[in-house]
Amino acid sequence: MQGDHPKKPFVKAENTGQRQDTDFTGIRDLFQDLGVLGERLHIEHEGNMYRVSCDEKAFMVYRVNHGAGAKYGVPGWPVCLVTPESAFEEFVSPGIGDDHCACGIDLRNWLDIVHYHCR
């Protein structure tokens, strides 16, 4: 996609480390600005394939398992999910983030990857 799209700020709630529910609005606005709200993006990153999407209800990054060295028999798994009410990041989840199949990418970096992919 062509054009220069400004990045939306990503705000954390003070003293809690929790993301505010307004963050989803910023994510949704970013996808709207990029012209990909409601679309499924296929992004290859560091040799792995991901499906990334955002609509009016949720932002999701789903790792597609092609079976090469990853979890056999598992078609894929969510690595990041943000809704207005909650957020999950594989990268910061105790135990899960240490798995050898974990992507190691946090939400801010996913948004940067999407922005780069769509520019």
Q: What domain count does the chain have?
A: 1
Query: Taking 80 as the threshold, does the pLDDT of residue 32 lie above it?
Result: yes
Is 74 part of any domain?
Answer: yes
DSSP 99: S
**Has residue 50 got a pLDDT over 50?**
yes
User: Is residue 1 included in any domain, yes or no?
Assistant: no
Band of residue 72 on the pLDDT scale cut at 50, 70, 90: low
Residue 72 lies in a domain: yes
- Most confident listed range (57-66, 68-77, 93-102): 57-66
Q: Which residues are CB-neighbours of 63 under 8 A, at least 6 positions away?
A: 48, 49, 50, 76, 77, 78, 79, 101, 103
Question: Strand pairing partners for 65?
Answer: none
Give 59: exposed, middle or buried? Use CB within 10 Å, 0-12, 13-18, 19+.
Answer: buried
pLDDT at 88 exceeding the cut of 60: yes
Q: For the chain, what percent of residues have pLDDT higher than 70?
A: 65
76 Ramachandran zone, left/alpha/beta (phi>0; psi -120 to 50): left
- pLDDT class of 8 with cuts at 50, 70, 90: very low
| Residue 15 domain-assigned (yes or no) | no
Q: Which structural domain, as residue segments, surrounds residue 89? A: 22-118
pLDDT band with cut points at 50, 70 and 90 for residue 23: confident
Provide the H-helix boundaries in 16-106: 22-34
Is residue 2 situated within a structural domain? no
- Does the pLDDT value for residue 17 go beyond 70? no
